[in-house]
């Protein structure tokens, strides 16, 4: 049976994936690369780390903070309903 509430809850992670540029604020490693994480982090420059940290703060403030996440999902659904995306 279709549940609108469950359907909306399932869209929340998708909405965040579409609005947060994860590749700009995080590093991604496969399990086989775990031993190399330390070396990869050591190669990051201070300005690059600062940029990524600022991006994480902005993503939190704009999309992930509990009240912001509600606004983000609603805004995305509203835009899609009116074809403004």
The pLDDT value given to residue 22: 85
Q: Write the burial class of residue 72 (CB in 10 Å: 0-12 exposed, 13-18 middle, 19+ buried).
A: buried
| SS3 state at 3 | coil
pTM for this structure? 0.56
Residues 6+ apart with CB under 8 A from 22: 28
What is the predicted pLDDT for the residue at 7?
47
58 versus 72: which is more confidently predicted?
58
Q: Tens digits of per-residue pLDDT, 45-70?
A: 999 999 999 999 998 888 777 776 66
Is the model more confident about 81 or about 76?
81
Give first-to-last CA distance, the chain, whole Å. 29
């Amino acid at each position: 049976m279709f549940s609108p509430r469950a359907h909306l809850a399932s869209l929340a992670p998708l909405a965040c994936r579409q609005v947060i540029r994860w590749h700009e604020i995080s590093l991604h490693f496969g399990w086989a690369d775990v031993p190399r994480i330390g070396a990869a982090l050591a190669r990051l420059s201070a300005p690059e780390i600062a940029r990524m940290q600022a991006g994480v703060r902005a993503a939190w403030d704009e999309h992930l903070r509990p009240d912001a996440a509600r606004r983000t999902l609603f805004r995305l659904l509203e835009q899609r309903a009116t074809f403004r995306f």
